[in-house]
A and B are shown apart, each in its own frame.
Chain A
Amino acid sequence: MRVMVERSGGFAGIASRRDVDSASLDALEAATLERLAHDALTVAVPQSPPMPDAYRYDVSIDGNSRTMSETSLPSEWRSLIEWVLARADS
């Protein structure tokens, strides 16, 4: 499983991007990534107009892409995004 997260916007407008592939993770981390991604995909991403200086996230799970805003981020997606952004690229 390959998950890419790009965070853009925010007051500073400085983008941050991580690309994590479960094939290059150890078994425990790979299982965590797959569980977080699975949980996220069960929750619909609400569409709301972007708010000033809120982060925008572009998330791709095995090529399946979603765009979402910090102001309407379901907790399942937040968990996945935070986990991926906290990692180094693999």
Chain B
Amino acid sequence: MPHSHICCSIIPPHIFRNIAEHGDDDERAQARHMLEESAEVRGERRALGLMASAIALPAGEKRRTIFDAQSTRDLPGKLVRSEGSKASRDAAVNEAYDGSGATYDFFKKNYARNSIDDKGLRLDSSVHYGVKFSNAQWNGRQMLYGDGDGKLFNRFTAALDIIGHELTHGITQYTAALEYHDQSGALNEHFSDVFGILVKQYTRKLTAAKSDWLIGAGLFTKEVHGIAVRSMKAPGTAYDDKVIGKDPQPAHMQNYSKTTGDNGGVHVNSGIPNHVFYLVATKLGGKAWEVAGRIWYDTLTRRLTRTSNFQACADATHAAAGERYGKNSAPQQAVLEAWKAVGIDVAAPAVVAAARLKIAKPTFSIPSAAAEVPAMAIASTSARRARR
């Protein structure tokens, strides 16, 4: 059945259910989206959860679906490529497909994580979102990418680390669920930059010494005086331009930005922990995703909570390094020194132990917490739809 029939006719949900279970890949993808859409409109979030698991392919499979929003803000848009189907003539479609695949492989092979939710969640991306839209986003359930305005920004799928960055926002949503404001928000941004750059390093086989440690290299057009959007090696030096201004990122707590814009400077103050990660990775050398990345992955998925701040992250990375590589091991020392270099002293071991006991509870309740998160995300999406 062609997709147009599925999306435009008044078909009762049970038909979609059938297609979703028995159709080919493209049909199933489209049908599942229709089910999600209608479930949202009716507020059947619980039903949606059950449906999603019933329709899911066997665990452990990489499932990517790329949609073309065709310059609208209507999501997801037209289905243009699904898992295993041939390449498109549209570069943005292929970049979103390859980039989400590279990100899936990165997390699966290095940390045995099965997609965003660790349960094989399908990776949905919409390209050509909006008109001259100069942004990329994880909206709580899918990635969306704008084409850029062409004046300052190129298309947002052009940089692999941007795709890794957006998908990591999804992982954070299902794990630490760091609130997106102030220090917890800057950490949310930080983890997305860390795994964004690691996806790029892993895919291109770059050691810590060989990486440029730049986020969004290639995103700016030639009109902009800048090499990237952020630099983990030297925060605050990525761009200095007459139109967009100067990179405002600090690399030390003494320059912490107390702005209210950007939800408390989440894209600004992330420079501080970003630099910590760079220091740890380059101190240890070799493949940054193996040791430094592992410590940060353990921290994000097991040791932080919604309101964790920089100090909590410093203590948690230090504890995570100790747990995996041993007390006073080279990785743990590198973590301690790196946080010190940006003006944060890791708390004394006794204090850290106490903090760990305190966070032990939420760690065990992650499955139920994770189940709440998509419902919240959907609630905001359906509220938006309801207003149209």
Contacts and interface: CB of A to CB of B under 8 A. Distances in A.
A10 B138 contact: no
Given A12-B153, A14-B244, A72-B384, A53 B138 contact: yes
A88 B386 CA distance: 34
B180 A50 contact: yes
Contacts of A70: 135, 137
B165 interface: yes
Contact of A52 (B134, B192, B268): B192
Interface stretch (A23-31, A34-42, A54-62): A54-62
- In the complex, which of the residues A12, A13, A74 has the most CB atoms of chain B within 10 Å of its own CB atom? A12
A14 B268 CA distance: 9
Nearest to A56: B263
B267 interface: yes
B261 A15 contact: yes
B188 interface: yes
Contacts of B188: 52
A74 B384 CA distance: 8
B180 A49 contact: yes
Nearest to A9: B262
Nearest to B169: A52
Contacts of A56: 261-263
B298 interface: no
A61 B228 CA distance: 35
Given A51-B380, A71-B384, A11 B262 contact: no
Given A14-B244, A50-B181, A52-B192, A8 B380 contact: no
Contacts of B84: none
A11 B135 contact: yes
A54 B140 CA distance: 11
Contacts of A10: 134-135, 267
A38 B388 CA distance: 19
A13 B185 contact: no
A46 B153 CA distance: 30
Contact of B136 (A6, A13, A51, A53): A53
Interface string B245-268: 100100000000000111100111
A83 B96 CA distance: 31
Contacts of B172: 52
A15 B262 contact: yes
Given A49-B180, A72-B380, A11 B137 contact: yes
Contacts of B263: 8-9, 50, 56
B380 A13 contact: no
Contact of B185 (A12, A48, A50): A50
Contacts of B179: 49
B229 A48 contact: no
Contacts of A46: 383-384, 387
Contacts of B261: 6, 8-9, 15, 56, 58
B27 interface: no
A38 B266 CA distance: 32
A51 B180 contact: yes
Contacts of B230: 13
B268 A13 contact: yes
B60 to A, nearest CB: 26
A55 B384 CA distance: 15
A55 to B, nearest CB: 7
Interface in A62-89: 70-72, 74-75
Given A12-B153, A71-B139, A72-B383, A53 B134 contact: no
Contacts of B138: 51-53
A45 B377 CA distance: 18
A46 B385 CA distance: 12
Contacts of A58: 260-261
Given A11-B156, A12-B219, A49-B376, 12 more contacts: A6-B261, A9-B267, A11-B137, A11-B229, A14-B245, A48-B380, A51-B140, A53-B135, A53-B169, A54-B139, A72-B380, A72-B384
28 contacts: A6-B261, A8-B262, A9-B262, A9-B267, A10-B134, A11-B135, A11-B136, A11-B162, A12-B134, A13-B248, A13-B262, A14-B229, A14-B244, A15-B261, A48-B380, A50-B263, A51-B140, A51-B380, A52-B180, A52-B188, A52-B192, A53-B136, A53-B169, A54-B137, A54-B139, A56-B263, A70-B137, A71-B140
User: Which 4 A/B pairs are nearest by Cβ-Cβ distance?
Assistant: A13-B267, A8-B261, A52-B169, A8-B262
